[in-house]
């Protein structure tokens, strides 16, 4: 071996030795780091306090109105706890098969599920999935918020480990089943059994156990009271999962599927139903969605929630909804439903709302905020008339009102009549359908859909059609969204985001969350005033006349929607969205399930405007006599109004003259007919006499 080769080999050996040394050091460092990390995690686990699960001592949350006075108290402290021995094995098995198949095998965390969720989150770029076990769900519900962050997930894992080291599997399952929410105001398995089936938890059948376990995923959507078909479908899936896990046989599955679902007809008394129940429901929902608080925090955390609730307006709304005289008669088998919401246009504060008629269910369906229905003609000012005014059209410009066919779309007016041309004002006031469709086609569909979205109403792809001019949407929108949109008109073009919560404090008075006002100038003040000018006409002389009140300046728009089946003598939904300078309200009326036997009268003019008016009359002490800022608009249109009135008067006189001439001709015709009848009768009598004479002669 020559010297150069030896030198090269020596150099390579040195590098290999160095590399091996670094690798060993890295391995050792990695092991030490892992051990330190494990030690730190175990210290966190060891120091975590989960004793709350031993003796839960929830404090009621206090809700305050806009004046700082106590309005309501809420708590979940009246959960009917049951021991694991009183819970049927089928319930536990159904929950495990559905929520956590490895419950008895893992130590609180399903690492496979977490890795699966981790990769899904990495692909999406956000936290969209979790790998929660029953123990993790218990940790989250009892100790944490529902915020989707990695920090909260780490806390959840630490608390989960502590729970697993502190309690047995049966104790964990018992606490989980006593705290989880099953919908319809039912917290815990015992109350769920009573609410849905009118029996003790210990008496639940396999079919009933599977149905309740299936509710945990989405109790509001899967409730058999609201959607039996989806609930049964979910139950069947749970039964299949139980068979797959080996808890039951195929024969058990078939037998359970054959068992008819008999729901409890008598509602279990809602122990949390205090003052202003629907408003409280919305506060809870807002606290969870906007401020990421858990139900458990809200219901038992001793919080102080300061709200926008106006007790006078809220009480007035509730009084109207408790009086059947303000509503059309319902069918015997289904109560005609309704929802109403009222917002301060300047602050966006929700001052009052009621989400339904009849028995209230804690955290049940709220038709004022959660309902999604087509808004009918209440959409016209948003989708058509506002963007048209922005494009340069004027209130008294003439619009086409003739038979229309645009790509097969043929809108019709309510009365099936056409007037040739009408002013925009008349089209709005009388809620004609053809002119707004024609106008939207003129300004461009995109202008209309853009305007709707600027008003805070999201649209689906299928909504981008000329039918949006008349409120035709694939799904629809809520009274809350419509009221918020109309605050733009009442607030001179600026829309403030609607909200019910001003501030949340913990039990010690420390501020946890505070409302930050979000406002947007949607349209120019002059455009808002022009819309208000026309909508005030709706209430003064148009389809919304029954909302008119002496002493209050009111503007608004009626709306109704077509039935999903052929019937021209009825409608599916009735709407009225109205406002004064101080308050904006939206009222919806309809059946939860519309069919051939459950629908409304053809016109909304005599229903929703009346409800709106009655609520305002009970809240009048809270409303000022302020007038809309439309005086400059009125001056601008003074000459146009004069010309139109003169034209209308001339047309009226011509019509009267025409009718008089028609009546004269009619009377002349009647006179001739009478003379003819007399002559004919005379001839008949002469003929009869001749016949008699002939008969006599024959005889």
Q: Which residues are catalytic?
A: 99, 377
Tokens of 661: 């001439």
Residue with tokens 């995690």: 41
The distance in angstroms from the start CA to the end CA of the chain is 167
- Residues 62 and 66: their CA atoms lie apart, in Å, by 13
- Residues 586 and 287: their CA atoms lie apart, in Å, by 23
Tokens of 266: 């008598």
- Residues 344 and 352: their CA atoms lie apart, in Å, by 10
Helix or strand (DSSP H, E) at 51: none
For the chain, how are helix, strand and coil distributed in percent, rounded to 5? Answer: 50, 10, 35
- Residues 692 and 699: their CA atoms lie apart, in Å, by 11
Nearest to 461 by CA among 470, 449, 469, 451: 449
- Residues 399 and 404: their CA atoms lie apart, in Å, by 12
Contact (CB, 8 A) for 500 and 287: no
Residue with tokens 């009917």: 80
**Calculated CA dihedral for residues 126, 127, 131, 133, nearest 10 degrees:** 180
Contact (CB, 8 A) for 284 and 187: no
| Half-sphere exposure in the Cβ direction for 176 (13 Å, CA) | 28
Q: What is the phi-psi region of residue 136: left when phi exceeds 0, alpha when psi lies from -120 to 50, beta otherwise?
A: alpha
CA distances from 425 to 17, 108, 498, 635 (A): 92, 67, 29, 15
- Residues 641 and 322: their CA atoms lie apart, in Å, by 43
Provide the 8-state DSSP code for 246: T
Residue with tokens 């009377």: 667
Nearest to 328 by CA among 558, 9, 618, 606: 606
- Residues 61 and 305: their CA atoms lie apart, in Å, by 8
Nearest to 337 by CA among 546, 593, 557: 593
């Amino acid at each position: 071996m020559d010297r150069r080769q030896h030198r090269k080999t020596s150099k390579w050996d040195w590098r290999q030795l160095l590399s091996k040394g670094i690798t060993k050091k890295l391995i050792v460092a990695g092991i030490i780091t892992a051990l330190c990390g494990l030690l730190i995690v175990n210290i966190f686990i060891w120091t975590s306090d989960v004793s709350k699960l031993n003796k839960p001592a929830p404090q009621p949350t206090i809700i305050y109105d806009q004046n700082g006075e106590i309005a309501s108290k809420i708590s979940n402290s009246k959960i009917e706890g049951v021991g694991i021995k009183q819970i049927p094995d089928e319930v536990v098995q159904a929950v495990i098969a559905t929520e956590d198949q490895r419950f008895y095998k893992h130590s609180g965390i399903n690492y496979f599920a977490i890795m699966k969720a981790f990769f899904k989150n990495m692909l999406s770029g956000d936290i969209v999935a979790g790998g929660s076990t029953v123990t993790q769900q218990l940790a989250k519900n009892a100790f944490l918020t529902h915020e989707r962050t990695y920090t909260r997930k780490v806390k959840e894992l630490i608390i989960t480990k502590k729970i697993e080291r502190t309690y047995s599997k049966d104790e964990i399952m018992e606490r989980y089943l006593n705290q989880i929410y099953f919908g319809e105001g039912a917290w815990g398995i015992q109350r769920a059994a009573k609410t849905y089936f009118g029996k003790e938890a210990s008496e639940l059948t396999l079919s009933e156990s599977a149905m309740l376990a299936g509710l945990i995923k989405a109790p509001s959507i899967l409730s058999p009271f609201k959607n039996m078909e989806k609930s049964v479908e979910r139950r069947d899936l749970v039964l299949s999962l139980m068979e797959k896990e080996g808890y039951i046989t195929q024969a058990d599955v078939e037998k359970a599927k054959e068992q008819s679902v008999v729901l409890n007809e008598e509602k279990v008394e809602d122990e949390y139903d205090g003052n202003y129940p629907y408003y409280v429901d919305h506060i809870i929902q807002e606290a969870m969605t906007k401020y990421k608080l858990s139900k458990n925090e809200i219901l038992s955390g001793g919080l102080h929630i300061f709200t926008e609730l106006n007790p006078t307006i809220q009480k007035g709304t509730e009084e109207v909804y408790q009086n059947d005289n303000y509503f059309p008669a319902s069918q015997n088998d289904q109560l005609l439903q309704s929802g109403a919401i009222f917002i301060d246009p300047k602050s966006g504060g929700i001052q009052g709302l009621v989400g339904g008629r009849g028995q209230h269910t804690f955290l049940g369906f709220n038709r004022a905020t959660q309902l999604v229905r087509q808004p009918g003609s209440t959409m016209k000012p948003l989708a058509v008339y506002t963007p048209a005014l922005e494009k340069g059209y004027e209130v008294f410009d003439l619009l086409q009102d003739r038979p229309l066919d645009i790509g097969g779309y043929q809108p019709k007016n309510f009365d099936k009549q056409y007037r040739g041309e009408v002013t925009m004002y008349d089209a709005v006031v009388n809620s004609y359908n053809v002119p707004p469709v024609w106008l939207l086609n003129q300004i461009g569909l995109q202008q209309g859909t853009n305007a709707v979205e600027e008003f805070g109403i999201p649209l689906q792809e299928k909504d981008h059609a000329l039918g949006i001019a008349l409120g035709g949407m694939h799904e629809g929108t809520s009274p809350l969204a419509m009221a918020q949109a109309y605050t733009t008109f009442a607030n001179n073009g600026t829309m403030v985001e609607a909200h019910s919560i001003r501030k949340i404090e913990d039990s010690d008075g420390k501020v946890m969350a505070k409302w930050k006002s979000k406002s947007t100038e949607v349209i120019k003040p002059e455009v808002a005033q022009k819309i208000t000018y026309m909508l005030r006409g709706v209430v003064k002389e148009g389809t919304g006349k029954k909302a008119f009140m002496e002493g209050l300046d009111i503007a608004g728009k009626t709306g109704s929607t077509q039935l999903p089946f052929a019937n021209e003598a009825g409608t599916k939904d009735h709407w009225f969205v109205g406002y004064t300078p101080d308050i904006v309200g939206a009222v919806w009326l309809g059946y939860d399930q519309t069919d051939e036997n459950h629908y409304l009268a053809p016109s909304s003019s005599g229903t929703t405007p009346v409800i709106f008016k009655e609520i305002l009359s009970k809240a009048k002490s809270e409303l000022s006599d302020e007038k809309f800022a439309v005086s400059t608009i009125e001056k601008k249109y003074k000459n146009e109004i004069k010309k139109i009135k003169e034209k209308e008067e001339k047309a009226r006189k011509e019509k009267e003259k025409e009718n008089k001439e028609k009546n004269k001709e009619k009377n002349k015709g009647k006179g001739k007919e009478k003379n003819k009848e007399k002559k004919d009768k005379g001839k008949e009598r002469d003929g009869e006499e001749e016949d008699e004479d002939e008969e006599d002669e024959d005889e």
